[in-house]
Amino acid sequence: MKSILIVDDDEKVLKFLSIGLKASVYKVTMTVSGEEVLKLVEFKKTEAMLLDILMTPVNGLDVLKRFCSFSPLPLIAFSAHSSSCEEALRLGGNGHITKPFRPKELIDKINSLTREE
């Protein structure tokens, strides 16, 4: 079972994503904190991270900059603003998806990044 880490400061979004991913046989770890995610990545075995870009107080781009400096974990950025997603790719993200999206789109994106070669 693949393990996914989801980071979003909106608990409703976390719950929605978690339900969809668990139904697709993923183990899900969630956090609303950009600071906490950096600790979780070090101690949790996970195959990919989904990171919301527009969060407070620490935004996803700041998390991404620090994350990419020490982790090769595939990261998919998501945001309602496509320009934020494009910036995430420039900073080292591996993929992006613009809100709103269908759960199948997200699962396909995760599978494309975590497919074992």
Q: Tell me: the pLDDT tens digits for 11-69?
A: 999 999 999 899 988 999 999 988 888 788 777 788 899 999 998 888 999 999 988 88
Q: What is the pLDDT of residue 117?
A: 42
Distance CA 32, CA 63 (A): 12
Q: What three-state secondary structure class fits 37? A: helix
In this structure, the strands spanning 2-7 and 75-79 are unpaired
Spans of all domains in the chain = 2-114
Query: What's the CATH fold of domain 2-114?
Result: Rossmann fold (3.40.50)
Phi-psi region of 25 (alpha: psi -120 to 50; beta: other; left: phi over 0): left
Question: 58: which 2 tokens?
Answer: 């620490």
Q: Which of 111, 101, 3, 19 is nearest to 52 (CA)?
A: 101
Distance CA 89, CA 97 (A): 11
Question: What is the model's pTM?
Answer: 0.89
